[in-house]
Amino acid sequence: MVYFLYAMRRVDCPQCGVTVEKVPWCDGKNHLTITYRWFLASWAKDLSWQRVARRFHTTWEHVYRSVRHAVLWGLVHRDLAGIEAIGVDEIQYQRGHHYLTLVYQIDEGLKRLLWIAEGRTEQSLRGFFSILSDEIRAGIRFVCSDMCQAYLNVISEQLNHAIHVLDRFHIMKKMNEAIDQVRRSEAKRMKKDGYEPVLKNARWCLLKRVCNLTKKQAGKLSELLQYNLRSVRAYLMREDFQRFWEYASANWAARFLDQWCTRAMRSKLEPMKGVARSLRTHRHLILNWFRAKGKISAGAVEGLNNKAKLTTRRSYGFRTYEVAEIVLYHNLGALPEPKFTHQFC
């Protein structure tokens, strides 16, 4: 272990005040050299910060400062030019209703985190567009998001020239939530009326795709399809809607969507009627999925969300938003790093 002791010269300037000598191996009042900070930050991508601290006989605070130094340097030197597709979503990062708004670049050759903000409000997303120049904003051609009204308002305001897509994942998620709501209410009613509990342990039989069912779940589903249940009707409506994604023309897809919504409104299933109302409200954005011709998908956004959740879970959560922001930029931001003469293993 090597300790480097050097007393930097200080000058009391009448005009500038006290000025400290600038040295190439460190900056400010940091006790760690620049090279050592980048070394710790590189290991912090693969290990938890506490394990990095133990491995290299330092402290968690030193690892945090090293990662923060790397993130701040990378944010200043990153290049945002050439962004064509972005995805907007939110994740929960603490217990309770604490959310982070995340904006990703989801171009074919580059997928990275561009923006983090606390909360899921219009102000949270509007901050992202404040860091973009008019030229970069004009180059964004596709936007993918869920049905959060705050996000929809800001996107329509800032990117009215881009194709805004409500992706298949978010739509089918809403439909599955409606099916599960129908199942729960019907199971309670059947139990109260003394009927056989045929819907017991049937949740995933109705929510999963047929191709993903286990042998036991497939048998349970075949049993349920013999009954005239409200849950079964909702399930069959969901399966019928899957044909919507097979269309190649936006016009024919629109015709199918209108017919399906009409049938759903006549189904007397209130959760499915709620889905139909939402689809009608966002009809134009849903049909943009066909106008984008499959060039954008929320699958990349959900994959990056899973990595973000894994990053915070690996560190057993963070007590402050500032630390969570630093670690997510560090792991998902694809931030640039300076070139060094020597590289440590």
- pLDDT digits over 61-99, tens only? 999 999 999 999 999 999 999 899 999 988 887 777 788
pLDDT band at 8 (very low <50, low <70, confident <90, very high): confident
- pLDDT digits over 285-333, tens only? 888 888 876 667 667 777 888 888 777 776 555 678 888 899 999 999 9
For residue 298, give the nearest of 142, 83, 110 by alpha carbon: 142
3-state helix, strand, coil in the chain (%, to 5): 55, 10, 35
Q: Is 202 left (phi over 0), alpha (psi -120 to 50) or beta?
A: alpha
Structural tokens at position 250: 């936006």
In this prediction, residue 256 carries a pLDDT of 95
In this prediction, residue 24 carries a pLDDT of 86
- pLDDT digits over 95-146, tens only? 777 888 999 999 888 899 999 999 889 999 999 999 999 999 999 999 988 8
Chain-centre distance of CA 87, in angstroms? 8
Residue 207: pLDDT over 80: yes
Find all residues with CB under 8 Å of 156, minimum gap 6, and list them: 164
> What percentage of the chain exceeds 70 in pLDDT?
96
Residue 17: pLDDT over 80: yes
In this prediction, residue 307 carries a pLDDT of 85
In this prediction, residue 62 carries a pLDDT of 93
Give me the mean pLDDT over the 265-284 stretch.
93
Count the neighbouring beta carbons within 10 Å of the beta carbon of residue 289: 24
In this prediction, residue 253 carries a pLDDT of 92
Using DSSP bridges, classify how beta strands 163-166 and 85-94 pair: parallel, antiparallel or unpaired. unpaired
- pLDDT digits over 227-241, tens only? 889 999 999 999 999
Residue 133 burial (10 A CB sphere; 0-12, 13-18, 19+): exposed
Report how far residue 217's alpha carbon sits from residue 239's, in angstroms, rounded to the nearest whole number.
16
In this prediction, residue 295 carries a pLDDT of 63
- Judged by average pLDDT, the poorest of 49-53, 94-98, 268-272 is 94-98
What angle do the packed helices 250-265 and 230-241 form, to 10 degrees?
A: 170
Residue 334: pLDDT over 90: yes
Report how far residue 70's alpha carbon sits from residue 125's, in angstroms, rounded to the nearest whole number.
24
Q: What is the CA radius of gyration of the chain?
A: 26
pLDDT band at 168 (very low <50, low <70, confident <90, very high): confident
Residue 186: pLDDT over 70: yes
3-class SS at 251? Answer: helix
For residue 297, give the nearest of 176, 169, 174 by alpha carbon: 169
Full-model pTM: 0.81
- Judged by average pLDDT, the poorest of 3-12, 237-246, 257-266, 301-310 is 301-310
More confident residue, 167 or 247: 247
- Chain-wide mean pLDDT for the chain? 88
Structural tokens at position 123: 């102000």
Report how far residue 227's alpha carbon sits from residue 231's, in angstroms, rounded to the nearest whole number.
10
In this prediction, residue 270 carries a pLDDT of 95
In this prediction, residue 345 carries a pLDDT of 58
Give me the mean pLDDT over the 251-265 stretch.
94
CB 279 within 8 A of CB 261: yes
